[in-house]
Amino acid sequence: MAKNPAFQFYVYDWQTNRKLQRCSARARGVWIELICLMHDGEPYGHLTIEGEVLDDAEVARLVHMGYQDYKAGLTELVEKKVLKFTKDEIPYSSRMVKDEQFREVRRAAGKLGGNPALLNQDLKVEDKVAPKVKTTPSSSSSSSLSSSSSKKKEQVLKEPDSIESKEPKDEEQKTEELPAWQVAAKRLGAKERTENG
């Protein structure tokens, strides 16, 4: 699979993370450089190149800093518990690792055809991998959703034999459920029929 060309940068989290805010500008500069290196790490979010752990002198060169400045910033990140280490002493970003695990869950669900809860499929993933995340629809889709469309969605999710046919009682109710372009087309057609007939 191809590498992701970018990663999400959560500005609010960067500006409000108490551990990070306790660090100097130098340490925060080292941290953003390390994040960029960890984006290419194997596994994702780890400070490695092609699975190999990097020594401090090599990382200092990669982040274009003098060794002493890099080491001072790194020490501060470790002391403030911003930078974490695996059992094998490999530096990693816990946020990047969690984000990657969440992407893997989504990727696996997509291969199964979408949301496993809607498809009644079990997606076996470690408990740590699938954090509960409440998602909200985008502004364009949230403004277009109506109570009638959500009722239709509920009916689609029911078993076919349990769906009840609920026809609108009058023509006005039918028109309300149509998209605006269909309502306009319907009115235009009715107007043409009265003029021709």
pLDDT greater than 60 at residue 28: yes
Rounded Cα gap, residues 122 and 28, in angstroms: 41
CATH of region 11-92, choose from 3.40.50, 2.60.40, 1.10.10, 3.30.1140 = 1.10.10
Alpha helices in the chain (DSSP H): 11-16, 18-21, 25-39, 56-62, 67-79, 94-111, 116-119, 139-144, 147-157, 171-177, 180-196
Residue pLDDT, tens place only, 11-26 = 998 999 999 999 999 9
Residue pLDDT, tens place only, 161-187 = 444 444 445 554 444 466 656 666 666
- Range 38-48 average pLDDT: 92
Domain with CATH 1.10.10 in the chain: 11-92
pLDDT at 150: 46
